Structure 1
Amino acid sequence: MALVFTSFLYLIAFSGAVASNKIGINYGRLGNNLPSPARSIELLQNMNVGRVKLYDADYEILNLLSGKNIDVAITVANDEIAGIAANQRLADQWVYEHVVTHYPNTRIRFVLVGHEVFSSINTTQDLQIARDLVPAIRRVKNTLRARGIRNVKVGTPLAMDMMETTYPPSSGSFKPELLEFMVPLLKFINGTKSSFFIDVYPYFAWFQSQAMNQTSINLDFALLRTGNESYTDPLTGLVYKNLLDQMLDSVVYAMAKLGYDDVNLAISETGWPHEGGPGATRENAAEYNNNLIRKMSAGPSNGTPARPNMAIPSFIFSLYDEDQKYGPDTERHWGLLNPDGSPIYQVNITGKAIFD
């Protein structure tokens, strides 16, 4: 059974492998000491970044990206979802202002509706946003189609807290209370050949395994280091050599349990903090991100054990440390660059040094 499943996914995945292995960077701006947008775009170009993800659809930044050889993901804010879901005219207006005005000179390739919408459904308002998510996504896609824009994919980034079970990967399942939202989302993504975007952080899984005094996850395994560390899924027999693959395949199997076994994956956020907590060092951050880049930019793509050779578009978090973010100290220390544009640590995006 597992061999048939894996082989089937391999055939589906292989055709898109070469075209989708450019590495992206998340460009967040929750800081009071960050370089200007113009300087930031210059730095992205100097780094040979293939993609950038914005947490909004800022006019100045999209204008600055015009004519640049960088694919762009833009975001519809969570507080805009309800209005767009209820009113096609609002969807039309949003797409006109944030896509049509800049496209195709700015290479917008993804519209991401919301950010981790399913992570909080405790309040009436949050629950309504979750219910409005897929209707809003559909309206945005309808507008793009009406405009004749067919190479911009629409999706939404979700966090790994959507999962009920992740271990072993073959037992992967979504939280039961999310199924009413997840099924229509998967139906849309599958029908439009978009991608299931995941914010996936092996650092947090490793950190939690230390904090809970369980059998801790090996640091090498979390950092994607090649070595003797491996794990064999008892049901499928698939061998895992790093934690990221385990986490991604748990989502693959969760989708398959709902009848969607060929939905594309994309990593909307991943990375490693360089300061602020256990294991958060520059050396570990550099190793994780460099290992990630080698894995995700390989040609042909490596994929995962359940998705061999599947290209997984990936965005590293983040371009800068953002000193105005809330939460534990690590939240403010994920950046690749200092405020003056110098590297916090060395990262190699394409096989040649990104910094002189």
Structure 2
Amino acid sequence: MGLLLLITLLSILSFASAEISDKIGINYGQLGNNLPSAYQSIELLQSMQAGRVKLYDANPEILKLLADTKLRVSIMIPNHEISNIALNQTAADEWVRNNVLPYFPSTAIRFLLVGNEVLSSQSDQDIVMWHDLVPAMRNVRKSLKDKNITDIKVSTALAMDVLQSTFPPSTGEFRSDIRDTVIQPMLRFLDRTKSFLFIDVYPYFPWSSNPSNISLDFALFKSNSSIIDHGNGLNYTNLLDQMLDSLIFAMGKLGYPDIRLVISETGWPNSGDIEEPGANILNAATYNRNLIQKMTTKPAIGTPARPGVVIPTFIFSLYNENQKTGQGTERHWGLLNENGTGIYEIDLTGKRSASEYAPLPAAQNNVPYKGEVWCVAARGADLQELSAALTSACNEGNGTCDALAPGNECYLPVSVTWHASYAFSSYWANYRTQGATCYFNGLAEETTRNPSKGACNFPSVRF
């Protein structure tokens, strides 16, 4: 009887150790039309010695391939399924039956995340989903429990915009529109089920939006100085710790100071648009290498508010993904190129010192760009697709394509590339303040060279 109890205790401790392992994880996104196969991707993850992988769905092919590997797996319920699962226990049971039971335990699913950054969207429909989030988490956990599955923790991935105050960390506080109605019951659920709070933390964004007041070295873990939070007396040597501790203090103010954290996404873009400062290979490699060193050091470093605590961490992302929309950085967070080769050398184990890496290309854009930028047809873009995009841009009105009418100043030369370039620049200039980007499904690119000719003046965006 004593031996059986010892074996049981060892099993529990083994699982707990796996839960808080310091092995680095990778986010495996699939928003690209030129990415390696799922089989090749799993091979790459293993060759890179990743300890974990996080998916943005429950892709059956990938989950089958992950069986009997050493990778610990996080899967996700897509946002659009949350409300139905919240309102219907049968729907939760069905999701678990279809997306967990066929693979577990051969595939080491350790976390089931209900949605991704659900609380970041502000549309009326999404606000309804806010209030369905925690009920959906409860229903999913009940489904797992009814199947005697206790090794899978249920959580959700949040972004830092759930906080209305982050600096200094001691002032950390959740947004008033979600604090009592969503966050409080969520923290109660995570605390009761001994689960983790998953948080997407990107020092790149606060730095790039305020590079004159935030040191780049501070964002890249290279600072030789510290910043004191006079609200708690703690010293901070990097921006990531500040961001994490602001969340920790916010949770403490709601009565939950001890809920464990997982960094569900972090990283640095290796490229981006002209006006996006600091998005380059040197900074991306520096950030991720230093991050890995910090998160794999033994004993664990933790943060100033939680020294010595392991924080499981997933780097975003495995690949550059060419079908992601938005600014150029959105498509350039990968550790690997679309063909599976490394964008820069990286050691996920943290055993390789900085001096052992080959030199990196010098950074050319660490200060914000100031000047004019035009949006033109990308080199090599398919003419048929360009023609369709041209029509779409011109159909938006607002004088976008008036200059392209026969006899007007930009009508000549009559070519799809010329007309599309003008339309893209004009559309971007007209609608950038409403969120338009120079992307057009990959058919456009930014340039600092004025494409105007003769009497035809291309509209531009000035930074």
Please say whether Structure 1 and Structure 2 have the same fold, judged by a TM-score greater than 0.5. yes
What is the match of residue 45 of structure 1? 46
Residue 121 (structure 1) shift: 2.9
Which one-letter code corresponds to 2:45 in the other structure? L
Q: Distance in 1 between matches of 2:232 and 2:351?
A: 38
Which structure has the larger Rg over C-alpha atoms?
Answer: 2
Q: Distance in 2 between matches of 1:79 and 1:181?
A: 18
Residue 128 (structure 1) shift: 1.2
Residue 352 (structure 1) shift: 4.9
Equivalent residue runs for 1:131-146 within 5 Å: 131-146=131-146
Q: Distance in 2 between matches of 1:229 and 1:32?
A: 44
Distance change (3 Å), C-alpha of 1:19 and 1:248: closer
What is the match of residue 207 of structure 1? 208
Residue 351 (structure 1) shift: 3.5
Distance change (3 Å), C-alpha of 1:18 and 1:151: closer
Q: Distance in 2 between matches of 1:323 and 1:122?
A: 26
Contact conserved, 2:155 with 2:190, CA < 8 A, in 1? yes
Q: Distance in 2 between matches of 1:95 and 1:292?
A: 34
What's the TM-score, normalizing by structure 2?
0.71
Q: Distance in 1 between matches of 2:102 and 2:154?
A: 18
Distance change (3 Å), C-alpha of 1:162 and 1:95: same
What is the match of residue 70 of structure 1? 71
Residue 92 (structure 1) shift: 0.8
What is the match of residue 99 of structure 2? 98
Q: Distance in 2 between matches of 1:229 and 1:175?
A: 31
Matched position secondary structure for 2:144: helix
Contact conserved, 2:163 with 2:175, CA < 8 A, in 1? yes
What is the match of residue 170 of structure 1? 170
What is the match of residue 218 of structure 2? 221
Distance change (3 Å), C-alpha of 1:329 and 1:18: closer
Contact conserved, 1:17 with 1:301, CA < 8 A, in 2? no
Residue 20 (structure 1) shift: 2.1
User: Is 2:253 the partner of 1:254?
Assistant: no
Contact conserved, 1:18 with 1:300, CA < 8 A, in 2? no
What is the match of residue 281 of structure 2? 282
Contact conserved, 1:53 with 1:72, CA < 8 A, in 2? yes
Contact conserved, 1:18 with 1:311, CA < 8 A, in 2? no
Matched position secondary structure for 1:109: strand
Residue 62 (structure 1) shift: 0.1
Contact conserved, 1:18 with 1:299, CA < 8 A, in 2? no
What is the match of residue 161 of structure 1? 161
Gaps of 5+ in 1: 1-14
Q: Distance in 2 between matches of 1:134 and 1:100?
A: 22
Contact conserved, 1:198 with 1:266, CA < 8 A, in 2? yes
Q: Distance in 2 between matches of 1:121 and 1:172?
A: 21
What is the match of residue 329 of structure 2? 330
What's the TM-score, normalizing by structure 1?
0.91
What is the match of residue 309 of structure 1? 308
User: Is 2:312 the partner of 1:299?
Assistant: no
Q: Distance in 2 between matches of 1:294 and 1:18?
A: 19
Residue 66 (structure 1) shift: 0.4
Contact conserved, 1:121 with 1:130, CA < 8 A, in 2? no
Equivalent residue runs for 1:13-32 within 5 Å: 19-32=20-33
Residue 16 (structure 1) shift: 6.2
Residue 19 (structure 1) shift: 4.1
Deviates more, 1:190-199 or 1:294-303: 294-303
What is the match of residue 271 of structure 1? 267
The partner residue of 1:243 within 233, 239, 243 is 239
Distance change (3 Å), C-alpha of 1:17 and 1:297: farther
Matched position secondary structure for 1:307: coil
Residue 229 (structure 1) shift: 2.3
Q: Distance in 2 between matches of 1:49 and 1:286?
A: 16
Higher RCO structure, 1 or 2 (CA under 8 Å, sep 6+)? 1
Residue 48 (structure 1) shift: 0.4
Contact conserved, 2:19 with 2:110, CA < 8 A, in 1? no
Gaps of 5+ in 2: 1-15, 358-463
Q: Distance in 1 between matches of 2:300 and 2:157?
A: 22
Residues 165-196 of structure 1: CA deviation (Å, up to 9, x unaligned): 00000000011011111000000001111111
Residue 308 (structure 1) shift: 0.6
Contact conserved, 1:301 with 1:309, CA < 8 A, in 2? yes
Which one-letter code corresponds to 1:305 in the other structure? P
Matched position secondary structure for 2:178: helix
Residues 50-69 of structure 1: CA deviation (Å, up to 9, x unaligned): 00000000000000000100
Contact conserved, 1:17 with 1:310, CA < 8 A, in 2? no
Distance change (3 Å), C-alpha of 1:269 and 1:332: same
Q: Distance in 2 between matches of 1:301 and 1:18?
A: 15
Q: Distance in 2 between matches of 1:150 and 1:296?
A: 27
What is the match of residue 412 of structure 2? none
Q: Distance in 2 between matches of 1:17 and 1:44?
A: 18
RMSD of aligned Cα (Å): 1.5
Residue 331 (structure 1) shift: 0.5
Which one-letter code corresponds to 1:308 in the other structure? P
